[in-house]
Structure 1
Amino acid sequence: MRLTFLLTLALAVPLGAADWPQFHGPGRDNHSAETGLAKEWPAAGPPVLWTKAVGQGWAGPVVAGGKLLVFHRVGDEEKLEALEPATGKGLWAFAYRTRYRDDFGMDEGPRATPTVAGGAVVTLGANGDLHAVDLATGKARWHRALLADYGADKGFFGVAGSPLVADGRVIVNVGAKGAGVVAFDAATGKEVWKATDDAAGYSSPVLATLDGKATAVVLTRDGLVGLDPATGAVRFTHPYKPRIRESVNAATPLVWNGDVFLTVSYGLGAALLRPTGAAVEEVWANDRSLSCQYNTPVRVGEFLYGAHGRADGAPPELRCVEWKTGAVKWARPRFGPASLIAADGGLFALTAGGELVRFDASPAGYVERGRAAVLGTPTRAAPALSDGRLFARDGTKLVCMNLK
C-alpha cells in the first residue's frame, strides 16, 4: 500500500507541540493531538478565559511560537495582530490599507487564515494582498499585489484560499491565465513558478505524499490539480466544477491512503478519487453522501463527519459517511454549517449559529456530550485549538475558552 500522509509545517520549521500554525491545524486536516480535554461541560459552556473585540473577517486565528495571530479588518485597514494566548494581551500589530468592497454587501474583512512558517506569518487579504510578516517583531518582509501583478479576478466573494507553505515556497491559487497556481519564494516573495490556467476557487491547497512524491493538491475553481511543489510540474488533473456559474469550490481536499476526497455542493456533491501517475480513478461520486458548501469535513478512522447541504438553503444536517463507499451511517437534522476539530477521541463543532458542540466520533450514531452558545451569528471563521484553549471568533468578538 502506498504511504500517504499530510505533511505539516513542522517539517520546515520547529513548532511547539501545541501549535495550530495554519488553516485546519498542523496537518490541514482538522486533527489535534491534544488530550485531557473535558468530556462534558456545564450548560453555560466551557470556562471563558478572555474575550477581545475584533473587526470584520472570516480568517481564523492561528497559534505558533507562543503567539496567537488574528487577521481582521478595522476600518479601511486589514490588520494582523499578535496576542499572548493566555491573556489576549497585544504584542504587536501590522496593518495596511485595503480597498476591498464586497459585491453582495457581505462581510468585507479578510477571508484567508494566516499561515506561519520559517519565522514568518503569511497573510492573504480579500483584495489579493499577499504579505510575509516577521513573527517575532511584526515587521513586513515582503508584499505582492496578486490581482494587479497577474490580472486575476477577485471572484464572487473576494480572495479566500489560505496560502500553503511548502519547502520554502508560498503556494497560492491565484487564478490568472497562465498563472492559475503560483509559488513564491518564502524569503523574498519572488515568483518561483506558475502553472495552469485554472480560475481561483475558495479552497485551500494541501501538501501530501502521493505515489511516494510530495504533491501540492489544489482544488481550483475548475477542478483538482496535483503539482510538484518544487517546480510546478502538473502531475495530474481532474475536472470537478458545478454546472452553474454561481457556485464556489470551497472545502479543502482530504488525502488519505492514496485517495483524495473532494466535496463541493451546488448539485455536484462529493467524490473519492485515486490518482496514479497522470491518471485519476473515480472510486465513487454522488450528490447524496456528503455535499459540503464551504466547511471541510473531518476524517476519523474509516469515516467522514461533516455538514451536508447549503448554508443558503435548509439548515445542513451533520452526517457520518464511510470513506471508501460514501455510505451514510447516520444524520443529525438541522445541525447547520460547522467547523469541526477531531481531538481527544471526540469531535468539536463550531456552528455558524455560534454554538460549540462536543459529540462522539462514532459511526454507531450521534451522541452529544455538550452544547453551548459562545458566539454570535454568523460564525464562519475556523477555530484553533492549542494547549487546551479553543480560540474562536465571529464578526465582532474573539473568545478564548478553556477545554481542559
Structure 2
Amino acid sequence: MIRFTLVLLISVFFNALSYAETPSWPTFQGVNQKSICPETGLLKSWPNGGLELLWKFEDCGKGYASVTISDGMIFTAGDISGENTVMALDMEGKLLWKQATGKAWKADYPGTRGTPTYDDGMTYHLSGAGMLAALNAKTGKPVWSLDLVKECGGTIGSWGLAESLLIDGNNILCMPGGKEAIVLALDKKTGKKKWATTGLEDTPSYCTPTIVKVGAVRQLLTMSAKYALGINADTGKLIWKFFYETGCDVHATTPLYKNGSIFITSNYGKDSKLLKLSKDGTSVKEVWSTHAMENHHGGVVLIDGYIYGAGANVWSCINFENGKTSWKVREGKGSILYADKMLYLLNESGKLVLIEATPKAYKEISSFELPKASKDTFWAHPVICDGKLYIRHANMLYTYDVKGK
C-alpha cells in the first residue's frame, strides 16, 4: 500500500511538472502583453518558397482575433452566421467545440476583434458588441456572461470593442467606459463586480492593458479614447492620466514599461511619446516625442533598450531612452513578434518577413507571401508556441513549422 501510494505521488508530481513545462500562449501578446516568445532553437532562415505548412483550419469565421494556446488546446473566435463564436481546437487543428456568445459586430470592419484569454480551466472573450463571456475551456459550456453596454453603462467606439481581457489573480479586468466605470474588475469565477474606476468618463479605445510594479503599487497601464491611464490594480483608483488624443480616438497599442518610463504610441499622425513617472508613481511627464513610429494596432516590442514596430507604412527601430531613430524602412505596416533573437513582421497585405532584432540595420533574411483567404487585411497578430507559428487570416488558421532542424 505504501509503495502504491509512493508510485502514485511520483506519477502525479511528474505529470504536474510536465504540464507546467508545456509551452503555452494563454493571453493576447503572450505573458505580460510583450509580444515576446521565450522559445529558442527556431529557424534562423526559411526555405525558398516559405515555411512548411503543418495544417490549416478553415472554419474560424470572420474576424481579426488571434489565437491563445494552453492545456493542449488552441482558442480563437469569429463571426459565424452572425453570432460571435468562440472555439477550441486540439493541437492538430481538429475542432473540439464552438460556442456562440451573442451577436457579432456587424458595423465597420465586421467580425471579431479581441482574442480569447485562457486561465485556470476557463476561457474568456469580449465581443465587439460588448458581451463578455466566460466559458469552460474543455467543453465550451457558458459559465457566466455580462453585457458591458446594457448592464454596466459601457460605450462603444466606431469600430466596436477590441480589448483582449486580462486576468489578474482572481479578477478579470475590462474597460466598459462611460459614466459608471472606465475600468472594471470582476470576479473571474462568477462575474461579480470587485471594483470600478470612476472619476473619468471616456470611451474605450481598443487597447489591451498590462500590469506593472511601480514601487509598492501595482499599476494597470492602459489607454482610453483620449488618455493614457495609470490605475491601482488592487483598488481601481485612478492614479494618473495623460491627455493623448487622435482624430479617430484610436489607441490600440498596449503601453510599454521599463524602469519607471512608459512608451505610448498611436496612428493618425500622432507622435509616439515616452512618459516618465514621478518618484511616487502618481504623475507622469513627457520625456520625448517622435514621429518615426505611429503604431496603429500591430503592437511594438522592446528588446535590449530598442523599440521595434510599424508606423504608417514604415517599420522602424527607435531608442527607448532618447527616441532617436536607429533605422526605418518603407515596408507597409503590420504586426510584430519577437522570438529567439529574431523579429517576425507580418505585413497587413500578407507578407511575412524574418529579420534579426538589431538596431544596426534592417536586413530581410527571409520572407514569403501567405495564402489569402479573403480580401481582408492580415490584422491578427502572429503567435509562436512549441516551435509552431500560427497565422490567422479571416476564416483560416495556418500553422507553420519554425523549429530549427
**Structure 2 length normalisation: TM-score?**
0.90
Per the TM alignment, residue 262 of structure 1 is displaced from its structure 2 partner at its CA by 0.2
Aligned equivalent of 2:172, options 170, 173, 192: 170
Q: 1:367 to 1:28 in 2, by over 3 A?
A: same
Per the TM alignment, residue 155 of structure 1 is displaced from its structure 2 partner at its CA by 1.0
Amino acid in the other structure paired with 1:70: T
Per the TM alignment, residue 99 of structure 1 is displaced from its structure 2 partner at its CA by 5.2
Q: 1:251 to 1:79 in 2, by over 3 A?
A: same
SS in 1 for 2:46: coil
The residue that corresponds to 2:239 in the other structure is 235
Q: Which runs of 5+ in 2 are unaligned?
A: 1-18
Cα distance per residue 1:174-233 (max 9 Å; x no partner)? 111131111111110011111132321111111111223221111111211111222101
Aligned equivalent of 1:32, options 31, 37, 43: 37
Q: Is residue 205 of structure 2 the alignment partner of residue 201 of structure 1?
A: yes
Per the TM alignment, residue 17 of structure 1 is displaced from its structure 2 partner at its CA by 4.7
Q: Which runs of 5+ in 1 are unaligned?
A: 1-13, 310-315
Tell me how many residue pairs correspond in the alignment.
377
Rounded Cα–Cα distance in structure 2 between residues aligned with 1:15 and 1:235: 35
When Rg is computed on C-alpha atoms for both structures, the one with the higher figure is 2
Amino acid in the other structure paired with 2:61: G
Amino acid in the other structure paired with 1:144: L
Cα distance per residue 1:269-305 (max 9 Å; x no partner)? 211111222121211123x221112221111111111
Per the TM alignment, residue 143 of structure 1 is displaced from its structure 2 partner at its CA by 0.1
Counterparts of 1:269-284 in structure 2, within 5 Å, are 269-276=271-278, 277-284=281-288
In 2, are the aligned partners of 1:181 and 1:198 still within 8 Å (CA)? no
Q: Is residue 72 of structure 2 the alignment partner of residue 66 of structure 1?
A: yes
Aligned equivalent of 1:95, options 72, 95, 100: 100
Aligned equivalent of 2:222, options 218, 222, 227: 218
The residue that corresponds to 2:54 in the other structure is 49
In 1, are the aligned partners of 2:273 and 2:289 still within 8 Å (CA)? yes
Q: 1:146 to 1:38 in 2, by over 3 A?
A: same
In 2, are the aligned partners of 1:127 and 1:154 still within 8 Å (CA)? yes
Q: 1:375 to 1:169 in 2, by over 3 A?
A: farther
The residue that corresponds to 2:3 in the other structure is none
Rounded Cα–Cα distance in structure 2 between residues aligned with 1:247 and 1:91: 38
Aligned equivalent of 2:251, options 246, 249, 252: 249
Q: Is residue 289 of structure 2 the alignment partner of residue 289 of structure 1?
A: no
Cα distance per residue 1:226-283 (max 9 Å; x no partner)? 11222101222211112x2x34111111111221110012232211111222121211
Rounded Cα–Cα distance in structure 1 between residues aligned with 2:334 and 2:99: 30
SS in 2 for 1:27: helix
Rounded Cα–Cα distance in structure 2 between residues aligned with 1:100 and 1:58: 11
Counterparts of 1:330-345 in structure 2, within 5 Å, are 330-333=327-330, 335-345=331-341
Rounded Cα–Cα distance in structure 2 between residues aligned with 1:289 and 1:401: 32
Share of identical aligned residues, percent?
Answer: 29
Amino acid in the other structure paired with 2:326: K
Cα distance per residue 1:135-162 (max 9 Å; x no partner)? 2222111100111112322210111111
Cα distance per residue 1:356-381 (max 9 Å; x no partner)? 11101111101111101124251111
In 2, are the aligned partners of 1:355 and 1:375 still within 8 Å (CA)? no
Rounded Cα–Cα distance in structure 2 between residues aligned with 1:375 and 1:28: 27
Q: Is residue 328 of structure 2 the alignment partner of residue 322 of structure 1?
A: no
In 2, are the aligned partners of 1:19 and 1:26 still within 8 Å (CA)? no
SS in 2 for 1:78: strand
Rounded Cα–Cα distance in structure 1 between residues aligned with 2:83 and 2:20: 29
Amino acid in the other structure paired with 1:395: A
SS in 2 for 1:149: coil
Q: 1:380 to 1:258 in 2, by over 3 A?
A: same
Rounded Cα–Cα distance in structure 2 between residues aligned with 1:26 and 1:221: 25
In 1, are the aligned partners of 2:205 and 2:249 still within 8 Å (CA)? no
Rounded Cα–Cα distance in structure 1 between residues aligned with 2:178 and 2:396: 35
SS in 1 for 2:33: coil
In 2, are the aligned partners of 1:183 and 1:193 still within 8 Å (CA)? yes
The residue that corresponds to 2:388 in the other structure is 389
Rounded Cα–Cα distance in structure 1 between residues aligned with 2:261 and 2:295: 18
Rounded Cα–Cα distance in structure 2 between residues aligned with 1:145 and 1:271: 34
Rounded Cα–Cα distance in structure 2 between residues aligned with 1:184 and 1:15: 26
Amino acid in the other structure paired with 1:252: T
The alignment's C-alpha RMSD in Å is 1.5
Rounded Cα–Cα distance in structure 2 between residues aligned with 1:15 and 1:153: 39
The residue that corresponds to 2:136 in the other structure is 134
Per the TM alignment, residue 16 of structure 1 is displaced from its structure 2 partner at its CA by 4.4
Amino acid in the other structure paired with 2:231: L
Q: Is residue 363 of structure 2 the alignment partner of residue 357 of structure 1?
A: no
Rounded Cα–Cα distance in structure 2 between residues aligned with 1:17 and 1:324: 36
The residue that corresponds to 1:401 in the other structure is 400
Rounded Cα–Cα distance in structure 1 between residues aligned with 2:371 and 2:152: 38
